[in-house]
Amino acid sequence: MTADTPPAEAELAVGADAFVDEGAGWTIAVVGAGAIGATCAYDLARRGADVTLYDRGSIASGSSGRAAGICYAAFADGLDAEIGRESIERFRHLSGDETFPFVECPYVWLAREGDDRRAAVIREDVERMQAQDVVAVAMDGDALGERFETLRTDDVAVAGVAGAAGYTDPGRYTACLAAAADGAGATLRPETPVSVSTDPAVVTESASGTTTEYDAVVVTAGAHSKAVLADAGIDIAMKPYRVKALVADAAYPEPMCFDATEDFYVRPHPEGLLAGNGTELVEADPDDWERSAPADFASSLADRVTHRFPSLEPAVERAWSGLCTATPDHDPLVGAVADGLYVATGFQGHGFMRAPEIGDRLAAQVLGEETLDAFDPTRFDGTESFEISAGMTIPE
């Protein structure tokens, strides 16, 4: 999550992103102007489709505006690694002084001494990542300390260290992609709550009652996706849950780090550092949830950050909460849920970092070019009972 504020206006020089016409003649609505929705709208528009991007609030006003902005390809699963790697490449390609920043930064995840199960998982996962051509190595505490002097490593059993990683401002990314969609011919409709229906695919504006029929409707409304689809009579296996983060004043250059044993992450931030944890393993109501962080959250997390980075004296500037979305098997729901109706949600807190590639692949799927079978939302019937588990975690 981030407190970085998206600019009121943004322009994106799309450069080498090719404009093609396989979407010519299509009319498509995208409901939800977060990172995935804005990217999908842009990728549909640059394929020639007539796109309208709706949001009940402003661009990036939901989870994308509160995301951590951590981006990496350190996934042991082949498809996840591929999507992560291609997303990183696209972040690099689209970023710039006039668009949004992308700062290259190594990613470290570690387990402490005595945490034998997580240590074993890290070693196994690094080997699996290497088999997927992910740039990752395992290090013991001594080697890690030599590489990153800011880290306390005397209690580290093992760490994974990945390249092909970095961080960005999620709000600015999303605003830029929405502006790029606009520049490619899409119509932006922020502050426009809607409902959807299927057979045919119709969007109804809540305030005016205006209805518009589309060839396809894509729901990328984050934590609200379940409710949006429920109005269309479609159930999905997804639960929103709350997470928390803070920004602190402390000179911190690198790396991005996830302490799996103590369950918190840290990354550099223009104001010092950004840190997060505090996953609440209960379903949240996306229409009624606390956006601030509890009073004791910041002090508790700051103490853990200081343990891992003894030279820092983080002075907390602000703390907040955001919503993530969980599924029964930890994989997202991406694809068709009915004729002409699509969804992308359930990313377990990893949606922003995969937005560049998921948005592009979802656009291709809507136009009949490909499918993400592994993420097929109809693999569940929507009535499943399941427990929420955190996205950034290593099993005990």
Residues 1, 286, 265: CA angle, nearest 5 degrees: 20
CB 241 within 8 A of CB 280: yes
- List of the chain residues with pLDDT < 50: 1-16
Task: List the chain domain ranges.
Answer: 27-67+170-238+328-379, 103-164+240-325
Q: Say which CATH architecture domain 27-67+170-238+328-379 belongs to.
A: 3-Layer(bba) Sandwich (3.50)
pLDDT tens digits, one per residue of 110-137: 999 999 999 999 999 999 999 999 999 9
Instruction: Tell me what pLDDT residue 156 has.
Output: 98
CB 375 within 8 A of CB 347: no
User: If we measure between CA atoms, which residue out of 246, 331, 245, 324 comes closest to residue 282?
Assistant: 324
Instruction: Tell me what pLDDT residue 15 has.
Output: 43
Instruction: Tell me what pLDDT residue 278 has.
Output: 79
pLDDT tens digits, one per residue of 71-114: 999 999 999 999 999 999 999 999 999 899 999 999 999 999 99
Taking the C-alpha atoms of residue 320 and residue 85, their distance in angstroms, rounded to an integer, is 29
Instruction: Tell me what pLDDT residue 11 has.
Output: 44
Intrachain domains 27-67+170-238+328-379 and 103-164+240-325 with the same fold: no
* pTM score of the predicted model: 0.93
CATH code that applies to domain 103-164+240-325: 3.30.9.10
Instruction: Tell me what pLDDT residue 370 has.
Output: 81
Instruction: Tell me what pLDDT residue 298 has.
Output: 92
